[in-house]
Amino acid sequence: MATAMQRSGGGGYVQRSSSSGLAEVLDVILDKGIVIDVFVRVSLVGIELLTIDARIVIASVDTYLRFAEAVNRLDLGTSGGQGLPQIMENMTEGGAKNKTKGVLEGAKDSLFGSDEDDDESQSGSGKRSPSRSRSGS
Amino acid sequence: MHEGISKYVYGVVPAAAAAPGGAGIGGASVETVVGRQAAAIVSDVPDGELEAGRADLMVHARVLEEALAGGVVLPMRFGVVLPNADAVRDELLERHRDQLVSQLAELDGKVELHLRVVYEESALMTQVVNSNPEIARLRESLRDVPEDATYYERIKLGEMVAEAVNRSRDTDAGQIIDALAPLATAVDVRDLDHERVVVGASFLVERKRMAEFDRAVDDLGRERAGRMRFKYTGPLPAHSFVELSVEA
């Protein structure tokens, strides 16, 4: 059975997938489930980058500076700006979703780490997904 | 018992369940160790510390997904390795038999659905500036001043933005959880792992209510399009809702 089963339905507003390869699901697997402490025998290689680094401390100077930069980057009130009305307008135009994402994505990628990479791989063809290392099925 | 081979454990299923197909970690075949009332899904791994990467996590997820397609499964956390099949029977299946059996019954017919909602940055910042005059003023005053000269003011601005985002999140996360919780048997809200996350939560949902739950998520996503991005994953084994954590 393929793991990348996409559930149909919805108007394209909700990004859907089954589990494997998504950062937050891998996080759940590392964090939740039956565990018998004495028998946990694993050293994680390269996983820290995926999960621990994504846990940005929410109330930190770094966060504040990122927020400050984000509001300063806004181009409100001038023509061609990307304020909320503009975005909503794009969303309601047929097939404009990708265009809108494109506009927003640049800034986001630099802020989000691996997590947003996953978003991208899910919404795209999947070429960038980490399936390179998945064997079989 | 083979010297040098241990058993990696993926999860626990009813005793009569078939082993999922496909390869396990390291390419070993996946099999079951059958106890009296429950069985463990296992595969061989070398003795000693198991060095595991992202690919191995994905194998763990895939094996459990296949098991879930065949019925109820109690997922193990990643990385549990027992010395041999007898230890799997004695230390896991027998020692915790009552709990395993009752949880297999409790989780039968239910799946975990995971939802993560993230604010779209541009829309969020626009909303924050437009609805907070003080933030708008401070932002204007800093815009054309060199960054080096305004370090502390920018921290102050960012802090005000963070507070506004927190207020917004409280409202938005509450609405989303309130809409979905009635359709679920249980909810596990995750800790925030990013400043622009609205909410991340796992829901335990009966299979027969999945379509209804899907529609509710779709509705929420549609109403919030452009403001928030919805990422919806599942069905997953009930990782967040198994309750057996044993400290030796």
By C-alpha distance, the chain B residue nearest A85 is B123
User: How would residue A128 be classed by pLDDT, with cut points 50, 70 and 90?
Assistant: very low
pLDDT confidence of residue B177: 98
* Of residues A104 and B138, more confidently modeled: B138
Is A74 an interface residue toward B (CB < 8 Å)? Answer: yes
Q: What is the ipTM metric for this complex?
A: 0.77
By C-alpha distance, the chain A residue nearest B120 is A104
Phi, psi of B229 (to 5 degrees): -110, 130
Question: What Å distances lie between residue B60 and A2, B7, B55, CA to CA?
Answer: 14, 13, 9
Q: Closest Cα of chain A to B16: distance in Å?
A: 20
Spatial CA neighbour of A38 closest among B73, B79, B103: B79
By C-alpha distance, the chain A residue nearest B245 is A35
pLDDT confidence of residue B133: 95
Give the closest of A31, A72, A84 to B127, CB-based: A84
Using 50 as the pLDDT threshold, list the residues of chain B that sit under it: 1
Q: Closest Cα of chain B to A12: distance in Å?
A: 8
> Best interface-test mutation with A: which of B78, B103, B220, B243 has the largest number of A CBs within 10 A?
B78
pLDDT confidence of residue A29: 84
Cut 0.90: pTM above it: no
Instruction: Lowest mean pLDDT of A60-74, A114-128, B160-174, B223-237, name the range.
Output: A114-128
The neighbour count for residue B173, using CB atoms within 10 Å, is: 18
pLDDT confidence of residue B76: 95
pLDDT confidence of residue B232: 92
| Range 22-41 of A in CB contact (< 8 A) with B | 22, 24-41
Q: What is the pLDDT of residues A82-99, one digit of tens each?
A: 444 444 444 443 333 333
A78: exposed, middle or buried (C-beta count within 10 Å: 0-12, 13-18, 19+)?
A: exposed
Residues of chain A in contact with residue B75, where contact means CB-CB under 8 angstroms, are 29, 32-34
User: How would residue A77 be classed by pLDDT, with cut points 50, 70 and 90?
Assistant: low
Q: Closest Cα of chain B to A117: distance in Å?
A: 13
Spatial CA neighbour of B78 closest among A20, A14, A95, A40: A40
What distance in Å separates the CA atoms of residue B74 and residue A77, rounded to the nearest whole number?
54
Q: Does pLDDT of A13 surpass 70?
A: yes
Chain centroid offset of residue A72 CA? 23
pLDDT confidence of residue A62: 85
pLDDT confidence of residue A23: 67
Is A134 within 8 Å of B69 when comparing Cβ atoms?
A: no
pLDDT confidence of residue A12: 72
pLDDT confidence of residue A19: 58
Per-residue pLDDT, averaged over A33-51, amounts to 75
Residues of chain B in contact with residue A42, where contact means CB-CB under 8 angstroms, are 49-52, 78-79, 81
Is A34 within 8 Å of B74 when comparing Cβ atoms?
A: yes
The neighbour count for residue B209, using CB atoms within 10 Å, is: 15
